[in-house]
C-alpha cells in the first residue's frame, strides 16, 4: 500500500458558492452568515476567501466586497441578487482528508514516473471516473481532471475517496534521462491518457508523489478507457 501523508489536500473544481434549490439557497463552498436588504455576509467553508471575493467581484461589479478572515462581506447590492449570483459561481474548494501514516513535508518533483510504492497493480484500489478536463503538455505528457463516479473495492481506498468529488493529476509515464520514454511499458500502458477527452469514462488508480504539494502530489498511475 502507498504511504500517505496524515493530512492531505485535493483541489477540487466546479463547486458552486451556494446551491439553489427552488427558492432556497443552501450551503455550498460558502454559507450565509448574515443578510439584510443590501448587505450579505458569507462564511467560507472550504476555499480561499480571497478567491471567493474575487469571483463575486466579477459578477457584482457595483458591490463593495471585503474579506475578513474566513468571511466575505458584500454591501450595496440587493440580497436576492447576491444570493442568485453566488449560486451561479463555481470555485475550486479545498478538502482536507485524514489518511493513515504520517508522511512528512512534501514538495513537487519533476518526475512523471510511477511511485516506487504504487499499488496501481492492485485492481481493488482502482475506481471509475469521468474525464471533465484535459490539459496537454509536450507529447505525451497530459493532466486529467477526473470526476469520481464509482468506488473502489478496497476499503482503505473507499475511505480516501469518501469526500472527494474531483481530482486533477498528471498521468504517470516512464522516462529516460529525464524525458518521457515512449518505449517504456508504463508509457505504452498509460498512453491512453493522451487521447482521452471530456466525457470519457475510465478506470483509474491514483498514487501520492512524495516531495510534492497539492494538487500535484498525486499521479494517475493507471488509466484505462471503459
Whose CA is closest to 223, among 173, 156, 180, 162? 173
96, β-bridge pairs:
9
- Report CA torsion sign: 30, 32, 34, 37: positive
* 221 phi, psi to nearest 5 deg: -100, 5
Q: In percent, how much of the chain has pLDDT > 70?
A: 78
182, β-bridge pairs:
none
Which 3 state secondary structure label does DSSP give 173? coil
Distance, CA of 171 to CA of 186 (rounded, Å): 10
Q: What is the pLDDT of residues 204-219, one digit of tens each?
A: 998 877 766 665 678 8
Confidence of residue 109 (pLDDT cuts 50, 70, 90): very low
Domain limits, CATH 3.30.1360, in the chain: 18-88
Query: Domain 7-11+99-225 carries which CATH code?
Result: 2.40.50.140
pTM of the model: 0.51
Pairing of strands 94-98, 7-11: antiparallel
Q: Which residue has the cell 493529476?
A: 169
Assign domain 18-88 to its CATH architecture.
2-Layer Sandwich (3.30)
- HEC states along 33-58? EEEECCEEEEEECCCCHHHHHHHHHH
Q: What is the pLDDT of residues 13-60, one digit of tens each?
A: 457 889 888 889 988 888 999 998 899 999 987 677 888 898 899 899
Domain limits, CATH 2.40.50.140, in the chain: 7-11+99-225
- Mean pLDDT is lowest, of 95-99, 107-111, 114-118, for 95-99
Whose CA is closest to 131, among 114, 148, 151, 153? 148
For the chain, report the end-to-end CA distance as a whole number of angstroms.
25
Q: What is the pLDDT of residues 163-196, one digit of tens each?
A: 788 888 889 888 777 677 888 888 888 888 988 8
Amino acid at each position: 500500500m502507498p504511504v500517505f501523508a496524515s493530512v492531505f489536500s485535493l483541489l477540487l473544481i466546479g463547486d458552486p458558492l451556494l446551491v439553489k434549490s427552488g427558492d432556497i439557497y443552501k450551503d455550498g463552498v460558502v454559507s450565509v452568515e448574515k443578510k439584510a436588504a443590501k448587505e450579505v455576509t458569507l462564511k467560507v467553508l472550504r476555499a480561499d476567501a480571497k478567491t471567493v471575493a474575487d469571483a463575486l467581484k466579477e459578477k457584482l461589479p457595483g458591490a463593495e466586497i471585503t474579506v475578513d478572515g474566513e468571511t466575505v462581506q458584500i454591501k450595496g447590492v440587493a440580497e436576492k441578487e447576491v444570493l442568485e449570483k453566488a449560486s451561479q459561481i463555481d470555485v475550486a474548494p479545498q478538502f482536507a482528508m485524514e489518511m493513515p501514516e504520517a508522511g512528512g513535508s512534501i514538495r513537487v518533483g519533476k518526475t512523471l514516473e510511477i511511485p516506487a510504492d504504487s499499488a496501481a497493480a492492485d485492481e481493488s484500489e482502482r475506481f471509475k471516473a469521468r474525464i471533465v478536463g484535459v490539459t496537454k503538455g509536450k507529447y505525451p505528457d497530459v493532466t486529467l481532471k477526473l470526476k469520481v463516479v464509482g468506488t473502489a473495492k478496497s476499503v482503505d481506498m473507499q475511505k480516501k475517496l469518501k469526500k472527494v468529488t474531483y481530482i486533477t493529476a498528471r498521468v504517470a509515464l516512464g522516462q529516460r534521462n529525464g524525458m518521457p520514454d515512449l518505449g517504456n511499458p508504463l508509457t505504452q500502458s498509460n498512453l491512453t491518457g493522451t487521447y482521452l477527452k471530456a466525457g470519457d469514462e475510465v478506470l483509474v488508480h491514483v498514487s501520492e508523489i512524495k516531495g510534492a504539494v497539492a494538487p500535484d502530489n498525486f499521479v494517475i498511475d493507471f488509466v484505462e478507457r471503459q
